[in-house]
Structure 1
Amino acid sequence: MTGDVPQQRPAPFSLLLPVYGNDDPAQFTRAFSSSVDAQTLPPDEVVVVQDGAITAALETAVAKAVASTGVPVVRVRIPERGGLANALTAGLAACSHDIVARMDADDVSLSSRFERQLAKVHEGFDLVGTGMLEFAHDTSEVIGRRTPPTGAANIAKYARFHDPFNHPTVMYRRAAVDRAGGYEDIGLMEDYWLFARMIHSGARVENLPDPLLMYRVGAGAYSRRGGRRQFEAELSLQRALRSIRFTTRAQFCRNITVRGIYRFVPVGMRTRLYRRLIARGFKNTGV
């Protein structure tokens, strides 16, 4: 007898989406719809983490999204805002599935994002990121593109100087995140610190270079990357990377010098440097 060979059912996965008081209700609605109802392969559940108090308008938007989708939604409410690392830790604990996709409340996922990422996870990868397009207000007006490094060797090399993954795009195995120690608060760089530890602990990692998410660049995106407080977070990160021997002494000194200076240059110059040197990649410079 002959017949069609049954296709393997995709592994179930959770979508982890944190929200906090400053999120815009309309942007949340668009983010939720694009990453749940508009996907060619929708998540099997959505975990929405409310980090502290939110506005009545945002509460209404979340409630409407939950009521209108056919995908089960789990809501995690944290009474006092504790920051992204804390929110993601709470959200991961609430996820029913080992495979988890990340999403922010003001970005837009392209329709094939999860289908393509899950295919890579099925190949045995523990962490899969993608490229992304930047926009300010209207998604029809792209102002930048971030193409991440690909291949384990290139990703590991790139990670010695800069975060090799676009955090809002990632899909990962929760078990691999747990093995690396999970999220830890370290300024705005909790994702970089986690991904470095995942690489260091032997996780299989990959990036899809194609942009599968549209990332909203807010008015304060580059100002938040500078200043004394962020320099101190940078110093803590570099000391942490060195403490696990992820970087060499020479790399530590270089990173403190180059990335440290970056924290104190004027916002306009910081924006240009980011786009020229970081968003477009150090992957071909031998760092």
Structure 2
Amino acid sequence: MNESAHVGDFSLLLPVYAGDDASYLRLAFESSVTAQTLRPAEVVIVQDGPVNDALVAELARIESESLVPVRVVRLTENGGLTRALNAGLAECDYPVVARMDADDVSVPQRFARQWALIEEGFDLVGTGMVEFDNDPAQLGAVRVPPVGSERIRNHARSHNPFNHPTIMYRVEALDRVGRYEPFGKMEDYWLGIRMISSGARVENISEPLVKYRVGSGAFARRGGWTEARTEWKLQGAMLKLGFITRAQYLRNVVLKGAYRLMPAWAKKIVFREVVGKGLPGERKSGV
């Protein structure tokens, strides 16, 4: 427990579903509340459909023992991440919301670092991530996001510029673009595009302030025809919005479609070498 922690005027939004592990949820919650140097003022957990007994018990423990107020929004059916996040946002009482997944780990200074930029006037602040398999002490590849508004916009024309599990944002800025919209597994990318296009002030912290759990099937889930079709649909939406040119659209359709159809081992190499290392000149540092 961090006895010297302060509390910020923001909510923590954490979705949970049947595929999550109770022990992972406990670590995610404790790292994002108990261990933070700046704690959220409240936590909104969205239970996306029925969950197993272990998760039910862990949610009850969290509600009864948390150092900050916790509200669990229980959805009767699993409706997917977009629905869960919008349902959670509707229950958040604070104008700023931080995202967290139920199987990741936050570094103790995460929220303090992000909140400082929110107080400067930014509407969305993401951070870098560092991967781990099972033990958060055994760290792997670092995913470095682009830093600075111009680099973020340029990066967004071909890749998602934000690590979604790391972001903190102003709800007012989300309201201007309609919050989350269903877009396959790319609802976060589409949200970022719309926020950038709306004129929102966005920034990233290059340091990995979230430890990201990478399961054995993580890269396999990125591929296949369903993901390729979603990718092509997203590129069409970006073109219609005027965010990319026709030439950029054609390039992305070919290259990103090919990426989605690669075998998992090849996608893993391409992602880490091309996407995860950040843009030239950006700093890559450890936790």
Provide the residue aligned with 2:255 in structure 1.
258
Q: SS of the residue aligned with 2:265?
A: helix
Instruction: Report matched runs for 1:1-12 at 5 Å.
Output: 12=9
RMSD (Å), alpha carbons: 1.2
Provide the residue aligned with 2:30 in structure 1.
33
State the distance in 2 between where 1:280 and 1:35 align. 25
Q: SS of the residue aligned with 1:260?
A: helix
Q: CA deviation at 1:10?
A: 7.2
Q: After TM superposition, where is structure 1 displaced by more than 4 Å over at least 4 residues in a row?
A: none
Provide the residue aligned with 1:191 in structure 2.
188
Provide the residue aligned with 2:162 in structure 1.
165
Identity of aligned residues (%): 52
State the distance in 2 between where 1:284 and 1:249 align. 25
Residue identity opposite 1:284 in structure 2: P
Q: CA deviation at 1:79?
A: 0.8
Q: SS of the residue aligned with 1:138?
A: coil
Deviation sequence 1:157-211 (CA, Å, 0-9, x none): 1000000010000000011011012111111110000000000000000001111
State the distance in 2 between where 1:239 and 1:176 align. 24
State the distance in 2 between where 1:128 and 1:236 align. 26
State the distance in 1 between where 2:88 and 2:58 align. 19
2:62–2:70 Cα contact (<8 Å) kept:
no
Residue identity opposite 2:267 in structure 1: R
State the distance in 1 between where 2:241 and 2:280 align. 26
Segments of structure 2 that go 5 or more residues without pairing to the other structure are: 1-5, 282-287
Q: CA deviation at 1:284?
A: 3.5
TM-score, normalised with respect to structure 1: 0.94
State the distance in 1 between where 2:145 and 2:67 align. 33
Provide the residue aligned with 1:235 in structure 2.
232
Match of 2:113 among 112, 116, 119: 116
Instruction: Report matched runs for 1:202-213 at 5 Å.
Output: 202-213=199-210
1:47–1:73 Cα contact (<8 Å) kept:
yes
Deviation sequence 1:42-89 (CA, Å, 0-9, x none): 000000000011001011111112211120011111111111011001
Provide the residue aligned with 2:211 in structure 1.
214
Segments of structure 1 that go 5 or more residues without pairing to the other structure are: 1-8
Match of 1:284 among 256, 280, 285: 280
1:10–1:118 Cα contact (<8 Å) kept:
no
2:76 maps to 1:82:
no
State the distance in 1 between where 2:116 and 2:237 align. 33
Instruction: Report matched runs for 1:85-96 at 5 Å.
Output: 85-96=82-93
Q: SS of the residue aligned with 1:145?
A: strand
Q: Would you say how many aligned residue pairs link Structure 1 and Structure 2?
A: 276
Residue identity opposite 1:202 in structure 2: G
Q: CA deviation at 1:247?
A: 0.8
State the distance in 1 between where 2:260 and 2:83 align. 24
Q: SS of the residue aligned with 1:236?
A: helix
State the distance in 1 between where 2:265 and 2:206 align. 27
Provide the residue aligned with 1:174 in structure 2.
171
Q: CA deviation at 1:147?
A: 0.7
State the distance in 1 between where 2:154 and 2:220 align. 28
Match of 1:142 among 139, 143, 158: 139
1:13–1:99 Cα contact (<8 Å) kept:
yes
Q: SS of the residue aligned with 1:218?
A: coil
State the distance in 2 between where 1:201 and 1:92 align. 20
Residue identity opposite 2:192 in structure 1: F
2:43 maps to 1:52:
no
Q: CA deviation at 1:110?
A: 0.5
